[in-house]
Chains A and B, each alone.
With several copies, the nearest count.
Chain A
Amino acid sequence: MDLIRQIWIESGIYQISSGQIAMIAICLLLLYLGIVKKFEPLLLVTIGFGGLLSNIPGVEIATGNGLLHLAYVTGIETGAFPLIIFMGVGAMTDFGPLLANPKTLFLGAAAQFGIFATLLGALGLTELGIMDFSLREAAAIGIIGGADGPTAIYVAGQLAPHLLGAIAVAAYSYMALVPLIQPPIMRLLTTEAERKIEMVQLREVSKVERVVFPLLLLLLVALLLPSAAPLLGMLCFGNLMRECGVVDRLSDTTQNSLINIVTIFLGLAVGSKLSAEQFLDWSTLSILLLGMVAFAIGTACGLLMGKLLNKITKTPINPLIGAAGVSAVPMAARVANKVGMEANPQNILLMHAMGPNVAGVIGSAVAAGIMIMFAS
């Protein structure tokens, strides 16, 4: 009888807390968004399931020697997983459109204003006494505005690990919401005439330029902003493997097996931070709110910079591609393309939008480097 009693005492029904029930509901929602709504499924499915596992009462899986906790300690605390993902992103990214039209980097720069505005917003909430974020926490929250998952996870892991769950969920959710968040802002800030602007076809980019680019970027980072070197360095390494043409087998593995394996364990490890104590907190609501604001501001700044560039350069620039400067590769570029085609069905902006899109990745990695330098 003692044994039956022990089964009952160790059962989930007996042990479960209301917070865990709420977290299980939230994780099921994340799985729903990932599977049914196809919101960034690679991450929301793995994070959501990791969250389910870590909210099962009385089991050592997200703590101690548990698999999810080991993945967190070895992969997130050390920064290894986001860096390896960034290497994979580099191996999958075609910087050709950016090389063909380097000035789209300015669009990627402008869109990073969302990051710093959000940092300010988080500190403002603190000043108003609503929340109590430190500078490190505010910086980690701001990075959501970079619309770049691995960058957000890397920075949060360094500066505010206790907010990692909320930040990762916010970052991936909003990246998936790009097709809903961006179009109204795009229509508000541009005129019909601007949205109709057709751009000249991009020039061919030679293989040598493609190979030299990652090395050039790495050297500039090394000389000017070493704190951004881990993230951008791995991005450049992946891209060099992709473009150099002599290590295709390494590049293929990086783009497939390696990034997939790391994605699975990254997602589970992030999910292990979805505990009730840390997630069911007003800070999570603030983070979701601030993240939304960050995206909107980033989009708006990219668009305004697009309008400015269009004015001051000779070749026409459709301001819509500025919205792609927030990153969220390749979703934001597709949205720019779609809104452009609504105004002018002959207007295929996709390739032009890929330039600011990948520029946004570089831009937020630079911003991340600055955050890490000052806030840590």
Chain B
Amino acid sequence: MEIGLLNQGVTLMLVGMGTVFSFLTILVMAMSLMSSIVVKFAASGSDDDVSPEEVAAITAAIAVHRKK
């Protein structure tokens, strides 16, 4: 039975290292693919809803209101 335990360990080692390498290999490929896609479609980003002028006006309004 103890031989069995060691056997289990060997199997777990082989399967485990296999899984670690397989998973990380897939991750390497996925990352490379993702990076190449991202580089192609350079991110367009998003704009703020509030313009700088509006921020200035708001800040002024708050300053006027609170001034304490």
Contact = CB atoms under 8 A, between A and B. Distances in A.
A281 interface: no
B34 A36 contact: no
A337 B62 CA distance: 12
A278 B61 CA distance: 46
A348 B61 contact: yes
B5 A127 contact: yes
B31 A116 contact: no
Secondary structure at chain A's binding surface: helix, strand, loop or mixed? Answer: helix
16 contacts: A38-B48, A105-B24, A105-B25, A112-B17, A127-B2, A139-B12, A206-B39, A206-B42, A212-B38, A220-B26, A337-B54, A337-B58, A348-B57, A348-B58, A351-B61, A366-B23
Given A7-B15, A208-B38, A363-B24, A138 B9 contact: yes
Interface in B1-50: 2-3, 5-6, 8-13, 15-21, 23-28, 30-32, 34-35, 38-39, 42-43, 45-46, 48-50
A350 B12 contact: no
Task: Enumerate the 6 nearest inter-chain pairs by beta-carbon distance, A residue then B residue, closest first.
Answer: A116-B13, A123-B9, A208-B43, A102-B31, A348-B61, A3-B15
B13 A126 contact: no
Contact of A220 (B15, B21, B27): B27
B5 A126 contact: yes
Contacts of B12: 3, 116, 119, 135, 139, 370-371, 374-375
Contact of B6 (A97, A103, A123, A206): A123
B23 to A, nearest CB: 5
A123 B5 contact: yes
Contacts of A188: none
A116 B12 CA distance: 8
B20 A202 contact: no
A106 B57 contact: no
Contacts of A367: 16, 20
Contacts of A37: 46
Nearest to A120: B9
Contacts of B5: 123, 126-127, 135
Contacts of B57: 341, 348
A106 B24 contact: yes
Nearest to A108: B24
Contact of B23 (A206, A220, A374): A220
Contacts of A57: none
Contacts of B62: 350-351
A203 B3 CA distance: 50
A224 B9 contact: no
